[in-house]
Amino acid sequence: MADEGWSPADVDLTTPNTARIYDYLLGGKDNYAADREVAEQLMEVIPEARMAARENHAFVGRAVRFLAREGVRQFIDIGSKLPASGNVHEVAAEVAPDAAVVFADGDPVVLAHARALLAGTPRTAAVRCDPRRPDAVTADPEVRAFIDFERPVACVLDRVLHFIDDDAEAAAAVRRLHDALPPGSHLVFTHITQDPEPESGGDVGNVFKRTTGHFWGRSRAKLLDIVGCFDLLEPGLTYTPQWRPDASRPHVPSPERTFTLAGVGRVRRPA
């Protein structure tokens, strides 16, 4: 586990942090006692929470690998969370060693770890952003100095949109992101849903009350509205294990128990 006596400046280790909770669920070491306590409480409500985190991480890897094979060479991971094995730049580099990857997040712990991880790694950068305004990343001077917006870009919104509580605001942010991306660009996204067990929403909300982030699970229909400006690639909006599954991974018998919807969208061409 992380050293409880060390942290980047201005980091509160007593308040549970959603990025560090996710890290714990993935089996990482960059988490603290408060984070582990919430994660254990979450697994009491949703026993599949650890499996869901791992399937979420695996989906992002498959999507990035697929897009790299399709020729995408620029990635922006927005709300990138703590580093884990199989990070976006590692997966992209498996297919395209020349891929450029920007990690963008507003959490000081995430940024500190990302910058440490990327030190000496060519064609990568970590920048500060507000994940609730993902579209703003495309106008950031540091990002624009690194990413060529005349060429296709893949934006990753991994467990980001459910932190924007207003449906119209979330849809507007996705629309602005879509309109800022060049032709041939894509969006990779995941989003929590309570569709499989609506009654669990209140219990999960109570578990996360003490954390630094509060999220809102959405129905499939609402999420389709939010990402509707993108053309979804086959198989459309699915639970994470169902999106172009890797035959080498164990079969997930009840994919809806991941409580996470996912998809990959392409920038819609003008009519």
Query: What is the reported pTM?
Result: 0.92
How far is it, in rounded angstroms, from Cα 112 to Cα 109? Answer: 5
Strands 154-157 and 124-128 turn out to be unpaired
Specify the DSSP class assigned to residue 191. Answer: E
Whether residue 235 is preceded by a cis peptide bond, meaning omega within 30 degrees of 0, is: yes
How far is it, in rounded angstroms, from Cα 96 to Cα 92? Answer: 6
Specify the DSSP class assigned to residue 1. Answer: -
C-alpha distances out from residue 10 to 14, 94, 226, Å: 12, 36, 34
Summarised one tens digit per residue, pLDDT across range 181-221 is 999 999 999 999 989 888 666 677 778 777 766 777 899 99
Q: Which CATH code fits 48-267?
A: 3.40.50.150
Average the pLDDT over 59-88 and give the result.
91
Domain boundaries defined on the chain: 48-267
**H or E stretch including 155?**
strand 154-157
pLDDT exceeds 50 at position 6: no
Comparing 130-134, 137-141, 184-188, 237-241, the range with the smallest average pLDDT is: 130-134
- At 5 the pLDDT is 45
How far is it, in rounded angstroms, from Cα 51 to Cα 160? Answer: 19
pLDDT exceeds 90 at position 57: yes
